[in-house]
Amino acid sequence: ARQSIESLMDIAPKEALIRRGNEEMMIHVDDIQVGDIMIVKPGQKLAMDGIVVKGTSTLNQAAITGESVPVTKTTNDEVFAGT
């Protein structure tokens, strides 16, 4: 199980586009803070787990769930790093 979790962490990006206030910046995942807004564009993988605050998209969660069909995520849905 530990190796599976580590392999999932390896597929997640090491940097993310973050909005703090009116600024957008690319930062290392270790520097992301609670309350930061992560901006994810089509085709990108999520760098961190989180909650969708705006928008709708489909994510491939196969690495986590084993399910090959993309899952639609919208406002207030939980999302996971590497998907």
Chain centroid, CA 41 distance in Å: 10
pLDDT tens for the chain, 83 residues long, are 556 555 555 678 899 999 998 999 999 999 999 989 999 998 899 999 999 999 999 998 887 788 888 999 999 999 999 88
User: What's the number of CA atoms in the CB half-sphere (13 Å) around residue 16?
Assistant: 22
By DSSP bridging, strand 71-73 and strand 57-59 are antiparallel
What range defines the domain where residue 48 resides? Answer: 2-79
Give me the number of domains the chain comprises. Answer: 1
pTM of the model: 0.78
- CATH number of the domain within which 37 lies: 2.70.150.10
